[in-house]
Each structure stands twice: as C-alpha cells, then as structure tokens.
Amino acid sequence: MDKQHGFSLLEILIAFSILAISLGILLKIFSAGVNTAAVAEDYTVAVQLGESLMVRAGVETPLQAGEVSGRDNDKYAWRVVVAPYRFSPDDVDVSLIKTELFKVDVVISWDDEDGGNGRQLELTTLKVRNKAVAS
C-alpha cells in the first residue's frame, strides 16, 4: 500500500494562483488608498490657501474691485477677484445702506503630478466696507 506524501503539482499551481490573485487585489486596494490620500491632501492644502487668501482681502490689501493672481509652492495657481456686490433694486433702498458689499472669489487650481486632469477649487464670500471709509 503506497500512500502519497505531500502535494501534487496541480495543487501547488492552484495555491500559487490563488496567492497571486490575492496579492494583486491587495496591492490594488493599497495603491488606490494611497492615491486617494494624496488627492485629499492636495484639496486640504488648496482649501487652507484659499481661506488665507480670502481673509487677506480687506485686511492686508484694501477692499476694492480688482484681481490678483499668483502661484504657491510651484504647484497651486490662485486668483482672487474682488467685485462690488449689487443689490437688486427690489430688495432694498440702496440710499439707506451705510456700507458696501464686495464679493470675493478665490479660485485655486493645480495639476496632477502625472500631468493628468487639472483640479480646481473655488471659494466665495461677501465682505463689508463702510461707505465713509471708501473714497
């Protein structure tokens, strides 16, 4: 009575195939997670940059109509557009208002490192300026 000991060649090939497929799936999941984390980090940096640029309007620079642009960290291109905000004539009697509203738009764009599709983030707010101060 001869009994075989060990595994046959077919069993070993099936085991290696299952192992290779499992490792391939795990590597794909891991790389997708790393890519998602990198994109999330880019958006976080862009939001922080946009908020800081938005706060500067009217604090470091005068609150007046205009456009300013630049680059940060050789990756993020930004543009700040300040424009007077106009009320609808039906909304309110403009002569009673002692302040002016300005709309501040901040647009930040950056490209993927691979030169793929560019990403863009836009933030908008309203800022107030006293009419007595404006001249």
Please provide the DSSP assignment of 54-73 as one string: HHHBTTTB---SEEEEEEET
What's the rounded mean pLDDT across residues 121-135? 78
pTM: 0.69
Domain ranges of the chain: 9-130
pLDDT band, very low/low/confident/very high, at 135 (cuts 50, 70, 90)? very low
Reported confidence tier of residue 134, pLDDT bands at 50, 70, 90:
very low
Taking the CA atoms of residue 90, residue 92, residue 96 and residue 101 in that order, the dihedral angle to the nearest 10 degrees is: -110
Query: What is the structure's pLDDT at 95?
Result: 66
Q: What is the mean pLDDT of residues 16-24?
A: 95
Residue-wise pLDDT tens digits, 46-93: 999 999 999 998 888 888 899 999 998 888 999 999 999 887 666 666
Phi, psi of 62 (to 5 degrees): -65, 145
pLDDT at 93: 65
Please list the alpha-helical segments (H only) found in the chain. Answer: 9-56
Q: Could you report the per-residue pLDDT of 95-120, keeping only the tens digit for each?
A: 666 788 899 999 999 976 655 578 89
